[in-house]
Structure formats: structure tokens, C-alpha cells
């Protein structure tokens, strides 16, 4: 059974990050945090490349906490490094208030979050990686909406793995970055679309609703 991921805050917030970089040198820099939850975040616009497994400090406003780096995407371009972090035990999230406020708004009647219902349809897609040496995964989502999907696989990727999802909407090829939010060994993984534009989200949702209605009509006629 799918374990639903915690709601994430997609807005960028300015943060201070410090610790040791991938070369073992101390650093203190500014950056942006997004895809926020009470447990972690994605860091972008970093000047220094971070090392998976290292502990770093992050400050938002006047609140600080220590985090563990769980994935890192290096870049040769200035301020283009990315990393995923998870908060250490017994630490308080610096952006807890933002995450709580967003979850509260998502539960309000008429919230935009309610527009993107998940559909249990077989939706073909390809999962690839920025490291082109890694093998692509041809698969189908079994539960999908405008904000993410669930892919059944015996060997799911690790939580917070950064992937590239490619699929077709009619004759248009869509390519979007995404993050693995849940990983259930022997079952599958939940994936969040992190940079899918709003109008594409809406198109995808409408496309899925048509698919769902078509399958339901076919099942009724065949009964």
C-alpha cells in the first residue's frame, strides 16, 4: 500500500548554509530552499558542492538546525549545485511554520490542492537521470495526478533521489524534474513533480480524467 508523502512547500526561501564541502573545505554561503517539509528540503543555487552523508547547518530567519545531506547534484556552472537534506533527530525545522501553514491551507475547502486528484490508470513514462551513464527505466505509473505519481517496482530508488520524468501528452513530449518522496522496497515509489509548470499540470490532470472516464465507460459497456 502506498504511503502518501508529506505535503511540500514549493516556494523558494532564502537560507544560510555552512559546513564542509565535497572537497573537505569549510564554507558559509547563501542559497535557496524549496520543496520544504518538516523533515527536509531541496537546496538550490549553491556555490559549493556538498557530499552525501555530511552534516551541515542551515539557517532561515533567526532559526537554525543541523541536517544530513542525502543526495547531491554537482554542477560546473556558478551557483547551480543542488542537494537534498533531511533534518537530524531532536532538531526543530527552521521553516516548520511555513510547512504547517501550507498544510492548513491545503485542507481548506476550495484549495487548489484539491484540483489534482490522483487517477489509478496505467500511464507510460520514462525515468532517467542527469548522469546519462545510468540506465533509463521504462515503466508505467499506476496512480498519477498533476503533482506526482506512484510507480510500482521491486527495486525503488532511494528517498529524495532526483530523477527526470518523460511522458507524452497527445503529441507533445513532456520532460520534468522530480524527486522520489516515498520508497517501499519490493512495492514501488512515490514521485513528486518538482518543476512542472501550472498549465502543464492542468493539461495532465484533464488528460488523466479523460482516460479514467474512457476506461470506466468501456468497463460498463463490456459488463
Q: Give the CATH number, domain containing residue 206.
A: 2.40.10.220
Whether residue 31 lies inside any domain: the answer is yes
Whole-number average pLDDT of the chain:
82
**Is the entire prediction scored with pTM above 0.85?**
no
Q: Give the separation between CA 132 and CA 135, rounded to whole angstroms.
A: 8
Whole domain around residue 57: which residue ranges?
13-106
Verify that 137 and 161 share a domain, yes or no. yes
Give the domain-ending residue among 50, 77, 106: 106
Verify that 102 and 132 share a domain, yes or no. no
Whether residue 1 lies inside any domain: the answer is no
Verify that 91 and 157 share a domain, yes or no. no
How many domains does the chain contain in total? 2
Whether residue 212 lies inside any domain: the answer is yes
Please list the ranges in the chain whose pLDDT falls under 50. Answer: 1-5, 106-107, 110-114, 216, 218-220, 223
- What are the percentages of helix, strand and coil residues in the chain, rounded to 5? 20, 45, 40
Whether residue 126 lies inside any domain: the answer is yes
Amino acid at each position: 500500500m502506498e504511503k502518501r508523502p508529506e505535503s511540500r512547500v514549493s516556494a523558494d526561501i532564502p537560507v544560510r548554509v555552512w559546513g564542509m564541502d565535497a572537497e573537505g573545505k569549510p564554507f558559509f554561503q547563501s542559497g535557496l530552499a524549496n520543496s520544504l517539509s518538516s523533515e527536509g528540503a531541496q537546496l538550490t543555487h549553491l556555490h559549493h558542492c556538498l557530499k552525501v552523508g555530511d552534516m551541515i547547518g542551515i539557517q532561515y530567519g533567526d532559526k537554525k538546525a543541523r541536517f544530513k545531506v542525502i543526495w547531491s547534484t554537482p554542477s560546473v556552472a556558478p551557483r547551480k549545485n543542488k542537494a537534498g537534506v533531511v533534518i537530524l533527530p531532536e532538531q526543530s525545522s527552521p521553516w516548520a511554520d511555513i510547512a504547517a501553514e501550507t498544510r492548513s491551507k491545503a485542507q481548506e475547502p476550495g484549495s487548489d490542492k484539491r484540483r489534482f486528484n490522483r487517477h489509478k490508470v496505467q500511464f507510460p513514462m520514462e525515468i532517467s537521470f542527469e548522469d546519462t551513464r545510468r540506465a533509463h527505466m521504462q515503466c508505467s505509473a499506476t496512480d498519477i495526478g498533476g503533482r506526482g505519481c506512484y510507480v510500482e517496482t521491486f527495486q525503488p530508488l532511494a528517498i529524495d533521489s532526483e530523477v527526470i520524468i518523460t511522458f507524452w501528452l497527445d503529441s507533445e513530449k513532456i520532460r520534468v524534474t522530480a524527486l522520489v518522496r516515498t520508497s517501499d522496497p519490493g512495492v514501488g515509489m512515490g514521485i513528486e513533480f518538482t518543476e512542472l509548470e501550472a498549465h502543464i499540470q492542468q493539461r495532465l490532470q484533464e488528460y488523466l480524467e479523460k482516460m479514467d472516464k474512457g476506461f470506466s465507460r468501456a468497463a460498463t459497456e463490456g459488463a
